[in-house]
Amino acid sequence: MKILFIIPGSGESFYCGNCLRDNMQASALRKAGHEVVLMPLYLPFRHAVYKTDTPLFFPATTFYLAQKFFGKRKMPSWLRKISDSDRMLKMASSLSGTTSAEGMESMTMAMITGDDPAFREQVQQMIDWIKGSEKFDVIQLSSSLLLGIARAIQEQLDIPIVCSLQDEEVWIDSMKKKEALLAWQAIRENNRYISRFLTTSEFYRNVIVKRFPEIKDQTSVVYPGVNRTKYNTSSFPDVPVIGYFNRMNKAGGLDILADAFIKLKKKNSIPKLRLNIGGGSTGIDKAFILKVKQMLAPWKDSVDFEEKYDPDNHAAFYSSITVLSVPITFDESTGLYICESFAAGRPVVEPSSGSFREIVGDAGVIYEPNNSDKLAEALEMILTDKQLFNNCRAGALSLSVSRYSDTAQAEKIIRIYNNIINKV
């Protein structure tokens, strides 16, 4: 089967859950013997792990300038040449990573509705490229924030389109109320161009179906799939190590974990306890990271900050920890770091929010409310009760095989693709 996967680039300076989810899915399908073409949007994927196969479409710098300042007028070719340059894209990559749509409301609406002149110019270039390629059996979009692309493709090409769904409300609900309402309405109007929606948990399927009841029967759950051979290890660090592997920002709850770690160090019920922090950041996270470092300063000899993010270092990070905790502060649809942690046989400690009860099962400890006192209690529990830890570790390894393997993921996705193609 030949699959075109359209995915936005994030700049690669931090752990991006959506980027990782897309890459895991593409890798799983390739491993199963299918041809997957990754088409990047906005920013290029420079790391070899992503293996993109097409030109960059909707380059962030050009699209932003054209959409914001030129309206119905054509951008001058000399300015386009500058804005399309590798130097400008690298600069945009270094500044990327905002979790807020503030300042990008018009771009967001253009990508959802497909009605903007700058959008239409860019999407036609994409469609011309697709027309010039060997026909794809199916096209997959990374997010419903790209539904304008589905509309444009369906108007010119007879190829079924699948759309992933994951945490769109985090972006849309950061817009002004009126614009957010318009964005959700535009998604509802363009749902008809999608053959199937995929979510990464039952929790998020329920969230999205509650908002759009009309797509209930065309929405399926496909759990993330991890290549377990990359993470498999039987060794543990010599001393107990709590790990945090996600973008280092307030939304990820890093300050909550830091405060919980401080409480445990003061109590000293877990001798030689260490904290390992990884996952990268962007420029806008610097002030927050400085604050966390100041909090941890008295215990800096017990803390490792791996500030530079490298997609190749995921497995090495998980092998360096005993237990993972990312006390995310919003209702996340999955938490791919959990699936990776399970592949390495590492239990997790997570708040009782979003999909975590569903995703974690008996492979970790769930606590509530999401504050440092309760987190410290939960971490102390799993790190001082050997039987509990071993049971959670066994649960992690079991779920990694039965639910979060790349084999299981690829098999389910291919069944969905075949049903769509055969109109079953």
Does position 307 have pLDDT exceeding 90, yes or no?
A: no
Class of domain 228-402: alpha beta
Q: What is the mean pLDDT of the chain?
A: 89
Cβ within 8 Å of residue 60, ≥6 positions away? 42, 43, 89, 92, 96
Beta strands in 307-411 (DSSP E): 323-324, 348-351, 364-367
Structure tokens given for 9: 């680039």
Query: Rounded distance, CA 102 to CA 116, Å?
Result: 18
Confidence of residue 118 (pLDDT cuts 50, 70, 90): confident
| pLDDT confidence of residue 55 | 87
Please give the average per-residue pLDDT across 301-328, as a whole number.
94
pLDDT in tens, 358-378: 999 999 999 999 999 999 999
pLDDT in tens, 4-27: 999 987 555 677 777 888 888 999
Does position 189 have pLDDT exceeding 80, yes or no?
A: yes
| pLDDT confidence of residue 337 | 96
| pLDDT confidence of residue 61 | 74
Strands 348-351 and 364-367, bridge-based pairing: parallel
Which of 352-361's residues contact partners 24+ apart within 8 Å by CB, and which partners?
A: 353/328, 354/203, 354/328, 354/330, 355/200, 355/201, 355/202, 355/203, 355/204, 355/331, 356/332, 358/201, 358/202, 358/203, 359/201, 359/334, 359/335, 361/395, 361/399
Amino acid identity, position 352 = S
pLDDT in tens, 246-303: 999 999 999 999 999 999 999 999 999 999 999 998 888 999 999 999 999 999 999 9
Query: Rounded distance, CA 160 to CA 418, Å?
Result: 11
Please give the average per-residue pLDDT across 102-118, as a whole number.
84
| pLDDT confidence of residue 50 | 58
pLDDT in tens, 40-88: 888 777 655 656 678 888 887 777 677 766 665 677 676 666 676 666 6
Domain extents in the chain:
2-225+406-421, 228-402
Query: Rounded distance, CA 145 to CA 166, Å?
Result: 10
Whether the predicted model's global pTM rises above the 0.85 cut = yes
Q: Answer yes or no: are the C-beta atoms of 149 and 6 closer than 8 Å.
A: yes
Does position 328 have pLDDT exceeding 80, yes or no?
A: yes
Among 384, 374, 263, which residue's Cα sits nearest to residue 322?
A: 384
Does position 383 have pLDDT exceeding 70, yes or no?
A: yes
Give the position of tokens 């877990």: 270
Which overall architecture, per CATH, does domain 2-225+406-421 show? 3-Layer(aba) Sandwich (3.40)
| pLDDT confidence of residue 177 | 87
